Structure formats: C-alpha cells, structure tokens
Amino acid sequence: MAKKQHKKAPNELANNRKARHDYSILETYEAGIALTGTEIKSVRAGKINLKDGFARVRNNELWLENVHISEYKQGNQFNHDPLRNRKLLLHKKEITKLAGVAQDKGITIVPLKVYLKHGFAKVLIGVGKGKRQYDKRETLKRKEQDREMARALKNRY
C-alpha cells in the first residue's frame, strides 16, 4: 500500500505533525524568526526539521532551540551552524505571558509549522500540554471513528 502524501499549503515550508500527536495544543502564536542569509535560503528550499524543536524564554527573549536548518549548498565559509539557537520575534506582552505559562509543570512551547508570509519566515508556535499514552490511543480511536462516519455518510449519499 502506497504511503499517503501530505499536501502542504503553497507557502508552508515545514510542518511538525508529531507535535499534535505528543501534545494537546492549548494556544497558538505566530512569531517571526531572526535568521542569517544562508539560513533563510535553506528555509525557503524547505531544508528545515522541526521534529525535536522547542522554545524557551531566556532573559525576556524567546529562543527556538533544537531546530535543524541544513547548511546552504552554495554557501561558503560564512555558512551557518545547523543547530544554533534562533531568536523568535514576539511582542513583549506575549513573551511575558508565555514565560508565565511555560513555568507550569508539563507545559511546553513547541513549533508547529514554518511558512512564508509576505516574504518573511514565520513560525506557528503552540503552548502544549504533554499527552499520556492512553490519551494518544483515545485520540487515534476518535479519529478512526470520525473516518468511519465520514465513509458511511459518503456512501449513503
């Protein structure tokens, strides 16, 4: 059986599907990323991996950590470090709100997707509460039931 290809929106560069599986997302925020020249070229080429990424508040600034942006092939000795921490650009009120929420136990700030908006790279970050194993099974069961109902309705009409 062939694997189903997930369609991306035309401006979507990367999607973290595992985040919605491992966390129940409570709130989302759109943030800009401070990138260097070779980083933005790699991001536009879709060479970004959000799988293990998370955000952390340090010194009243929000930092995106553990996100891999591959080196730009045509870059020279000024190429970037693929795993460096990148600053996220949000309003100060939003950062203080996120700092307060992130201090609670079991709450994590995770990147959900990266996309282009008016030529700028943006990250959709979510405040997530970790799911337990039984929560994940329940979510999968509910999705399967919804699919069954949709199939039944489709065949009916």
* Max CA separation in the chain (angstroms): 62
List the CATH number of the domain containing 61: 2.40.280.10
Question: What does DSSP assign to residue 104?
Answer: S
Separation between Cα atoms, residue 138 and residue 143, nearest integer Å = 9
In a domain, 28, yes or no: yes
In a domain, 152, yes or no: no
In a domain, 32, yes or no: yes
In a domain, 57, yes or no: yes
Residue 8 has a pLDDT of 61
The pTM of the full predicted model, rounded to 2 decimals, is 0.76
* Statement: residue 4 has pLDDT above 60: no
What's the domain range around 23?
12-131
* Statement: residue 3 has pLDDT above 60: no
Among 47, 113, 55, residue whose Cα is nearest residue 80: 47
Residue 78 has a pLDDT of 74
